[in-house]
Amino acid sequence: MTSQERIAQLRSELHRHNHSYYVLNMPEISDYEFDQLMRELQELEAQHPEMYDPTSPTMRVGSDISNEFTQIVHKYPMLSLGNTYSFEEVADFYARVKKALGSEAFELCCEIKYDGVSISLTYEEGRLVRAVTRGDGVQGDDVTTNVKTINSIPLVLHGEGWPREFEIRGEILMPWKQFDRINREREAQEEALFANPRNAASGTLKLQNSSVVASRKLDAYLYFMLGEQLPSTGHYECLQHAAQWGFKVSPAMRKCNTLDEVFEYINYWDVERKNLPVATDGIVIKVNSLAQQRALGYTAKVPRWAIAYKFQAEKALTRLNEISYQVGRTGTVTPVANFDPVQLSGTMVKRATLHNADFMDNLDLHIGDMVYVEKGGEIIPKITAVDLSSRSFMMGEKVRFITRCPECGTPLMRVEGEAAIFCPNDVSCPPQIKGRIEHFISRKAMNIDGLGAETVDLLYSVGLIHDVADLYQLRIPHISRLERMGYKSAENIVRSIESSREIPFERVLFALGIRFVGETVAKKLARAFGSMERIENATFDELVAVDEIGEKIAQSILRFFANEQCRTLVNRLKEVGLQMEVVVDESIERTDKLAGKSVVISGVFAQHSRNEYKAMIEQHGGANVSSISSKTSFVLAGRDMGPAKLEKAQKLGVPIVSEEEFLAMIE
């Protein structure tokens, strides 16, 4: 068998196994065997670039090459559905359809309404050629590269009988399991949590790095087909054909002939949806006949042949048993309610954040209270109310926020005007120390591979590290003798620690974990002051003079460098060779041609990438801003500039500068 024949064979096998695993839920081989086949295909494709195929299974692993999204006009507008919230409104819809169709009999197709991101997929000759988000309904973002990483979306169709060209629409979702995993990771890094799987899926789909998209394991259900030569005259029947071609279609679809059957379907799934692996928020009811759909038509905004019934937010009543407190990396203390386990949205829930002291006080909680826990539109569990009718004189004491750190005993502090209460002992409070080390080694900071939260905890517990500077004293024998660690792992960790000495200064500054100094602020400070020494000696007035540095951030920086132990830590990092100043590339000519100008970039460019244009703007003294305002100097506009930005720029009289005009401007 030639290499070319083996590539074709592997592609066919992997497409089939993907469908068996992700759509049919009937895996035929182990994950290991699948990975071995995928690895073999990747190696063969690397050896034979002439065999490139945009629908190869290897496209699902994603790429770390950044890409910009282009706007695509929908062939058929993507309209939203009218919402109903009661059986009476569903009955009104049924009556309107019946009246409009006169004596014609009709069927209704009931489907689960998945709570994700709407997507339009276009197939030509049985291959996925384009994936576009809903956008404003008229046009959306081309996210084909990211969608190819979703295993339940076929790149090449199975079977036969599919139209030469057609469009199929559906919902891209983040399963509960993946949503919980990602939020745990974000919580460990003290990053803002995703409010619900829909927001998580939407944010993921718009990432510029498709390899990250692949790692988040999105899913998809398809629910509507459009085209000139569809396989059937019925909506339900078309989707049954789609399932045979490899699309993941909800097995819960049902055709109903009476209003009572529709109500029965709604009642069943209002309960059973709690056991589904993905988020749902209602039921969609459609007239099944495509001819009758066309006859019923559309209003200005919604189809007359379909409607969405929305479920009420899911909540449960349970007993509050205790309040525990978590200390984060920056010392913020978060109260957590612990209660009798209840099932919500397919998972057992026994804890919910109470956010802060004010939120807790407003609920007027007492130990033993019966409380309502909700996991509806905002999917992070939360206590919404207390059942006061069940409170008795036997009730436990009123819940009051603690006054000392639960980890180190230090009296807690609260900055005036802030909701958060925090432990100021950032030097010897264990969760803060370990949290700062985890932040320091993270990908966006020092990017030290091989060290995770468990390894940091192990190294800290055995006394090998007490702060981030101790990482640079680690040697292979120190690590290799620890439990679950070997020579190879230790070697990789030490090599990665050594490589981190080359990390640029702005990331070193971010890695220190100074309260309120995130990635963007660290870059601003690095560019404004140029070195750690100048930041360390900066005055309050000098700090607030920097763009986007307000009083709160300035005070936090001053407080950090006023601490002798923090200054000692920075000096130790300087001694081990970390970058402590901005390295200026002397080969780049810097000018003030754009000094004082704020520039917004929009569209797709021919001569340079967006990132290259951003660098040029900064090189010539300008500032990149993300949104248009009256203070914007001009918009650097490429092809397919966003219509909303164009309209706002015209309304405010902000100049639109083309690619050629901009390059002439800085020559």
Q: Mind listing the pLDDT tens digit for each residue in 231-260? A: 999 999 999 999 999 999 999 999 999 999
If pLDDT is split at 50, 70 and 90, which confidence band does 65 have?
Answer: very low
pTM for this predicted structure: 0.53
Residue 535 belongs to a domain with what CATH number?
1.10.150.20
Q: Are residues 496 and 509 in the same domain?
A: no
Count the domains in the chain: 6
Q: Tokens at residue 81, please?
A: 């559905």
Residue after which a domain boundary falls, among 310, 341, 370: 310
Q: Are residues 292 and 405 in the same domain?
A: no
254: closest CA among 262, 243, 245, 244? 262
Does residue 379 sit in the same domain as residue 436? no
Looking from the CA of 605 toward its CB, the CA atoms found within 13 Å total: 20
Instruction: Say which CATH number the domain at 658 has.
Output: 3.40.50.10190
DSSP string, 64-108: SS-----EEE-SS--PPPPEE-SHHHHHHHHHHHHHHHTT----E
Residues 215 and 241 in one domain: yes
Domain that holds residue 529: 505-575
Asked if the structure places residue 75 within a domain, the reply is no
Residues 161 and 288 placed together within one structural domain of the fold: yes
Are 287 and 373 contained in the same domain? no
What is residue 30's predicted lDDT score, i.e. its pLDDT?
65
Q: Which of 64, 279, 246, 270 has its CA nearest to residue 178? A: 279
- Residue 78: per-residue pLDDT: 87
Residue that terminates a domain, selected from 310, 331, 354: 310
In the prediction, which pLDDT does 539 show?
Answer: 93
One-letter amino acid for residue 318 of the chain: T
For residue 509, tell me if it sits in a domain: yes
**473 shares its domain with 417:** no
CATH label of the domain that carries residue 22: 1.10.287.610
Beta strands (DSSP E) in 209-331 are 219-226, 254-256, 280-287, 306-310, 315-327
pLDDT tens digits, residue range 77-92? 888 888 888 899 999 9
Residues 93, 154 within the same domain: yes
Catalytic residue among 75, 98, 99, 113: 113
CA distances from 328 to 273, 332, 353, 438 (A): 34, 5, 13, 11
On the CB side of 390, how many CA atoms lie within 13 Å of its CA?
16
Q: Is residue 466 part of a domain?
A: yes
> Does 582 fall in a domain?
no
Tell me how far CA of residue 177 lies from CA of 173, 333, 629, in angstroms: 11, 27, 41
Residue pair 420/414 in contact (Cβ under 8 Å)? The answer is yes
Any domain includes 589: no
Q: Of 312, 321, 311, which is closest to residue 371 (Cα–Cα)?
A: 321
Bridge pairing between strands 71-73 and 127-133: unpaired
pLDDT, tens only, 320-363: 999 999 998 888 999 999 999 987 765 688 999 888 888 888 89
Which two three-digit tokens encode residue 553?
A: 């951030």
Residue 559 in contact with residue 456, Cβ under 8 Å?
no
Q: Which residue reads 């014609």 in tokens?
A: 104
pLDDT for res 66: 38
- Residues 142 and 288 grouped into a single domain: yes
pLDDT above 70 covers a percentage of the chain that reads 93
Is 586 inside a domain boundary? no
Lookup: tokens for 346: 């397919």
pLDDT at 27 over 70: no
- The CA distances from residue 432 to 81, 423, 502, 580, in Å, are 48, 9, 26, 23
Average pLDDT over residues 203-219: 86
CATH number at residue 361: 2.40.50.140
- Residue 631 is among the residues annotated as catalytic for this protein: no
Cα separation values, 598 from 209, 559, 626, Å? 27, 31, 10
Instruction: Name the phi and psi angles at 109, rounded to 5.
Output: -105, 120
Least confident of 41-50, 477-486, 512-521, 602-611: 602-611
Whole-number Å distance between alpha carbons of 179 and 190: 16
Which helix (H) or strand (E) element contains residue 257? none
pLDDT tens figures, 426-461: 778 999 999 999 999 998 899 998 888 889 999 999
* β-pairing verdict for 280-287 and 254-256: unpaired
Separation CA 115–CA 281 (nearest Å)? 6
Based on the fold, state whether residues 546 and 410 are members of the same structural domain.
no
Residue 147 has pLDDT above 90, yes or no: yes
Separation CA 209–CA 67 (nearest Å):
7
By mean pLDDT, which of 150-154, 460-464, 595-599 is the weakest? 595-599
**Inside any domain, residue 68:** no
Q: What is the pLDDT of residue 376?
A: 52
Cα gap 581→664, rounded to integer Å: 33
410 with 439, same domain: the answer is no
Q: Is the pLDDT of residue 300 over 80?
A: no
Q: Is residue 218 part of a domain?
A: yes
Given 310, 333, 364, the domain boundary residue is 310
CATH of the domain at 148: 3.30.470.30
633 within 8 A of 599, measured Cβ to Cβ? yes
Residues 466 and 530 in one domain: no
